Amino acid sequence: MSSFFFVDTQRSTTRGLEGDYALHEESVHARAQAHHGTVNRLYDQPFARFLADAPLEAIRHRVAEVTADDIILLGIGGSALGASTIHEALRPASPWKGKRLHVLDHMDPDRCQAILEEGFARGAHFLVISKSGDTTETMALASILDRLARPEVGALYGRERVTVVTNEITADRSNAQTAIRKWARGIEATVIDMPFQLGGRFSVLSAVGLLPAALLGYDMQALVDGGRAMAEELSRIDATDSDPIGNAALELASVIVGLDLEMHIGTQVLLPYAQKLGRVGAWFVQLWAESLGKTSLTGAKDAGPAGPVAGVGPTDQHSFAQLLLAGRRDKLVIFIDALGRDASTVIEPHRSFGDGLESMRGRSLGEILSLECFATELALAGEGRPTAAIRFTQTLDASSLGALLVFFETVTYIAAAMYGIEPYDQPGVQLIKTHIKEGLEAGVGDGTHGEDRLGRERIFNGGFPLQLPKRRGI
């Protein structure tokens, strides 16, 4: 069992779940046994290998130079979700305490312009993150920041106001002239590199997530140490062991993939019963969907799971749970429960409540929350709906959060091996990026653009988007 949390899968298998939708326990063991070698290759994976190379000193040096209480992050997808996940999990309980993180992971003009303008006026520090160095959304917002800043403070405002995180320069220097590096040089912004081989969705414990965490005052060393401890624990597996189920990541991956391939239960619902873990769900959705939603290495289409869903208990217990209990039998619910909650907030109802709250008297809010989590698990099990649970054995802090993030990365890597999928590319997402760039270039310059579909639609309809077509058959 992990020193941070333990994983309970008994209500997914014949060991603890009755009915036609229980995965046979022998199947879990067989699948886990077949992937001993996958676990032993954990430290060959970029997200585990680069834990030892996190640029902690460079980050500490930059943090010492920044005094702002507001951090505005310009980034999208994996360049933003990790930072917001850490902030949501570790920020002070009171919204009036601590530093503030504002994430612009979209291009909504109603909000972006106001946040950039007001943030600059308030003395905010701008953190611009783009793995590729030319992400459309991020660079568009950076150009607005640049226009706002230059008239007031001149070209070199980046020395104090901007930090950039992007891919390290490759050996052939092919990415040395990306848009973000040219801009950073022009304004003299500090640039902190992330490993070129590390995908954005696996980058939470690199400079992508650690720099904003440190700027906000969180213990990045503890985050990394927790992640390292989890990677070390998960990689310790004896290939001759006849029972591999002691490895929590291997066990959970075996249950998830087994339910999908054998029982056609292919949707995974992550349901943490802690408000501060709500963003973990959003981070998990990207990690799981972008890593596993693709063609297998054997050429089989739609090889991965049906798709991840994120919720938060007990909020979704009063809404989404109806579908989980009585809707299609195609979902595995994965609970996260923090057993080490603060028990100081005890309910002592005044007599004006009558006898209606007597059953709560003397119980803490945390105790009731854990009870609700377990009651929901039991209700699902009673209806033959499989569940799994991750139960924290200590207070959620930077160290245990780092461990949880590496745990999910490891489960994703193992599940990819079981599906026969390459987890580190994203051809579908890249296709959208290609269409965006083609659309931006359509009809520009010497008239040679516009031969792609987006270009033709722009020409035929007078602009984007194509909503009321003037011509058909494009």
CB under 8 Å to 136, separation ≥6 — which residues?
433, 436, 437, 440
Tokens of 439: 């659309």
pLDDT at res. 348 = 80
Q: Are residues 314 and 412 located together in one domain of the fold?
A: yes
pLDDT at res. 459 = 62
Q: Which residues of the chain have pLDDT under 70?
A: 1, 238-245, 300-302, 339-343, 351-352, 354, 356, 427-430, 433, 435-474
CB 35 within 8 A of CB 418: yes
pLDDT at res. 391 = 93
Strand order of the β-sheet with 125-130 is 100-104, 70-74, 125-130, 162-167, 190-194
CB 193 within 8 A of CB 176: no
Q: Are residues 106 and 189 located together in one domain of the fold?
A: yes
Q: Which domain holds residue 179?
A: 48-219
CB neighbours of residue 58 within 10 Å: 15
Token pair 């568009």 is found at 140
Alpha carbon of 57 to those of 192, 207, 214, 281, 322: distances in Å?
11, 11, 11, 30, 49
Q: Is 329 exposed, middle or buried (0-12, 13-18, 19+ CB in 10 A)?
A: middle
pLDDT at res. 455 = 65
Q: Are residues 53 and 40 located together in one domain of the fold?
A: no
Q: Are residues 304 and 353 located together in one domain of the fold?
A: yes
CB 72 within 8 A of CB 124: yes
Rg (CA), the chain: 24
Q: Which CATH number goes with the domain that contains 57?
A: 3.40.50.10490
Number of domains in the chain: 2
For residue 125, the surrounding DSSP H or E stretch is strand 125-130
Q: Are residues 394 and 278 located together in one domain of the fold?
A: yes
pLDDT at res. 335 = 96
For residue 368, being part of any structural domain is answered with yes
Q: Are residues 170 and 295 located together in one domain of the fold?
A: no
Q: Are residues 121 and 35 located together in one domain of the fold?
A: no
CB under 8 Å to 75, separation ≥6 — which residues?
83, 103, 104, 105, 127, 128, 129, 130, 135, 138, 208
Q: Are residues 145 and 28 located together in one domain of the fold?
A: no
Kindly report each contact of residues 106-114 with a partner whose C-beta sits within 8 Å and lies 24 or more positions away, as own/partner: 106/76, 106/137, 107/137, 107/140, 107/141, 112/141, 112/144, 113/144
Tokens of 4: 């941070």
Q: Are residues 26 and 79 located together in one domain of the fold?
A: no
- The predicted model scores a pTM of 0.90
Q: CA quadruple 175, 177, 181, 185: dihedral positive or negative?
A: positive
